[in-house]
Amino acid sequence: MTAIAGVLTRQVEISVPRWVQLIALFGIGAVLYVLLQGTSTQPHDDGAPLFLTLNGVRDWVEANRTINPVFVYVLGPIRDGIDLLDQAVTFALAQVSWVGLMAIAGSISLVLVSWRTALLVTGSLLAIGLLSLWTETIQTLVLIVNSVALALAIGIPLGVLAGRNDRFLRVVTPILDVMQIMPTFAYLSPLTLIFLIGPASAVIATLIYAMPPAIRITALGIRGVPGETVEAATSLGATDSQVLRKVQLPIARRTIGLAVNQTIMMALSIIVIAALINAPGLGESIIVAIEGLKFGDAVAAGAAIVLLAMVLDRITASASQAGPPPVVAIGPLRVTRRTVRIVGLTIAAIGVVGGMVANVGPVFPPAWHVGIAKPLDDGVRWVEINLGSATDAVKNAVSYALFNPVQTVLTTAPWWLVVAIIAGIAAIVTGIRAAIVVAVALALIVALQVWEHAMETLMMVMVSVVITMAIGVALGVWAARSRLVSGILRPLNDAAQTLPSFVYLLPAVALFGASRFTAILAAIIYAIPAVVRLVEDGVRGVSTTVIEAATASGANRMQLIVKVLLPMARRSLLVAANQGVVLVLAMVVLGGLVGGQALGFDVVDGFSQRDFFGRGIAAALGIVLLGIVLDRITQGAGERRSVRGVVGRLGVGLNSNRVTREA
């Protein structure tokens, strides 16, 4: 395979256009498929020896959990420590009344950011209360506080190390890549095997997902300190640790603030998955809503997550700013920082003491409730009743005409042919190194004995990505060319990107039942906002001079877009495709919860049925490998390594807007 890829890459240098190479590759592939169809396939076997071996590992862990020294003296104390932390933070938050908490949050944002933010933060918290989700939100906050504190305690030192040591950065980068591509879902089983269900597992699952940005951005911050500054300090006789403490850390402070902010956002995005292993809070509300197909409840809980995200984002984003100026403008009025601080402290004190005196308690009054679930549920029911038959027809048409044929080709082709063709694509699109990584990863999927299901998942990802890109590029270009469209899409994108991915499953299930179509639809809805945003930014970045020149030379609107804007925005398109692939994969896997079958289902099943534990672990690893394959292929010609290597992948999940801006 690598030989084929090598030959193809060499042809690049002899300048055969890439599209000709791709067509040639597909042509050869098609001929070989027709000739060899049905040979060297890897039919799925639930009783594969590897799965049974993994089950055996599980049995061993369960039998030895209480006697093996590693469990007794290392893992047990870790679990107990995190449980203790959880209890302490829960207890501390329960001591302050809800009025007190709102006052504290409001005054922090007043002092650190601005009075507008203070109003926004207090208003958001009030809205959460009115949605009757206060208790759940506080439970979620506890999880976020704990996992973020630990993620930063581990991540920032590692980030500093990666910022100062090239070799460490090289070692750690691929590990971080894997941590972020790997759907969270994939490590629930092993985690609960080791730490059982409960706060410890939930915190650690969140930590694994949320830590990479802390490391990456801290490293970026340290590396952003100008070399001359460091040299100057060294030449003045500063020791290594002095350079770190007095020069690098202070200068990188702003960037490290961004790391804190991103870590929180990432942590928030996985609380629903953490709920599967008994993390209470908003995630649990969403899981229960999904189990009962209560769309309205899911949206309410999703909205509370968005509001909480906004509160935490606004407060922590200020940490990455230089801090408010000494004289603050409150609307047209100017006050000194000192005054603001005093006002803030007073508000917080009044809130806390007032809440205590009035005995308000930690729970928002349940009587104050604004229900949003009913109109939403009614809406979904209306759609079901009125569009029910149409949606069935669409689902069947697409499934029979598109999904099934593609899936059949992928699962009945010889596995080595599929590996060769995918590696060939990687070689042509990205380069020979990517091709080698891709080939090895695919071969490992074969070794894991999950090939057939991996191909089914691949089919869903391919279809979703193609549709996502088509819609995302169209909307992105439109938004870039029209202020109005951009104004409409931006807030929608913001909300859509913060809303937990699970929420997207529900309307899709309501319309299309449990099927692959549902999983694919949810994945498309989930990935489009990020793609739109990246494409819009890219197209906006095309210089007006170029556009004017093209228009002056008589290009019509279509020509302008196809021949000028899109080629000029190529880099953004590549980043968008890469983001799209990673997001789609994460969502398609979740589709396993709603009839999406394939690897996602295997993971869910492995988590809930003991007999299939081993298959679940193998499938989880298969997803990671598939993620690496898709990521490598879409990494483009390697020209964006500089941007993406460090911060690029932050955008996964949340806030890719910020990342794009930063990058």
Distance CA 116, CA 204 (A): 35
**Contacts to another protein from residues 402-441, by CB under 8 A:** 403-404
- How is residue 144 written in tokens? 């976020």
Q: Which of 331, 338, 386, 552 binds another protein (CB under 8 A)?
A: 331
Q: Which of 266, 509, 542, 618 binds another protein (CB under 8 A)?
A: 509
Q: Which of 54, 85, 103, 630 binds another protein (CB under 8 A)?
A: 103
Contact 599, 619 (CB under 8 A): yes
| Structural element, H or E, at residue 396 | helix 373-398
Q: Which residue has tokens 């919860």?
A: 593
Residue 458 binding another protein, by CB under 8 A? no
Q: How far apart are the first and last CA of the chain?
A: 36
Per-residue binder mask for another protein (CB under 8 A), 255-284, x = binder: --------------------xxxx-x---x
Shortest Å distance, C-beta 184 to another protein = 16
Contact 359, 486 (CB under 8 A): no
- Which residue in 426, 474, 332 sits closest to 635, CA to CA? 426
Q: Which stretch binds another protein (CB under 8 A): 178-186, 345-353, 569-577, 634-642?
A: 345-353
Q: Which amino acid is at 488?
A: I
- How is residue 642 written in tokens? 């500089």
**Contacts to another protein from residues 36-55, by CB under 8 A:** 46-47
- How is residue 463 written in tokens? 């279809």
**Contacts to another protein from residues 176-195, by CB under 8 A:** 192
Cross-strand partners of 334: 329
Count, residues near another protein per rule CB under 8 A: 78
| 3-class DSSP assignment, residue 329 | strand
The secondary structure of 146-178, three-state, reads: HHHHHHHHHHHHHHHHHHHCHHHHHHHHHHHHH
| 3-class DSSP assignment, residue 333 | strand
Residue 299 binding another protein, by CB under 8 A? no
Contact 213, 259 (CB under 8 A): yes
Burial of 453 (0-12, 13-18, 19+ CB in 10 A): buried
Q: Which of 88, 363, 370, 387 binds another protein (CB under 8 A)?
A: 363
Shortest Å distance, C-beta 343 to another protein = 8
Shortest Å distance, C-beta 293 to another protein = 4
Q: Which stretch binds another protein (CB under 8 A): 248-256, 258-266, 543-551, 594-602?
A: 594-602
Per-residue binder mask for another protein (CB under 8 A), 108-127, x = binder: -------x------x-----
Find all residues with CB under 8 Å of 655, minimum gap 6, and list them. 262, 265, 313, 497, 498
| Structural element, H or E, at residue 335 | strand 333-336
Q: Which of 35, 245, 400, 642 binds another protein (CB under 8 A)?
A: 400
Considering the complex, state which of residue 349 and residue 643 has its C-beta at the smaller distance from another protein.
349
Q: Which of 34, 367, 484, 558 binds another protein (CB under 8 A)?
A: 367
Distance CA 552, CA 545 (A): 10
Shortest Å distance, C-beta 122 to another protein = 8
Shortest Å distance, C-beta 57 to another protein = 16
Q: Which stretch binds another protein (CB under 8 A): 1-9, 143-151, 242-250, 330-338?
A: 330-338
Most distant pair of Cα atoms in the chain: their distance: 82
Q: Which of 11, 37, 68, 399 binds another protein (CB under 8 A)?
A: 399
Considering the complex, state which of residue 257 and residue 600 has its C-beta at the smaller distance from another protein.
600
Residue 362 binding another protein, by CB under 8 A? yes
Distance CA 371, CA 235 (A): 65
**Contacts to another protein from residues 144-183, by CB under 8 A:** none
Q: Which stretch binds another protein (CB under 8 A): 98-106, 445-453, 571-579, 640-648?
A: 98-106
Shortest Å distance, C-beta 54 to another protein = 16
Cross-strand partners of 333: 330
Considering the complex, state which of residue 6 and residue 354 has its C-beta at the smaller distance from another protein.
354
**Contacts to another protein from residues 610-639, by CB under 8 A:** 610-611
Shortest Å distance, C-beta 527 to another protein = 21
Distance CA 11, CA 4 (A): 11
Q: Which of 20, 92, 171, 196 binds another protein (CB under 8 A)?
A: 196
**Contacts to another protein from residues 574-593, by CB under 8 A:** 592-593
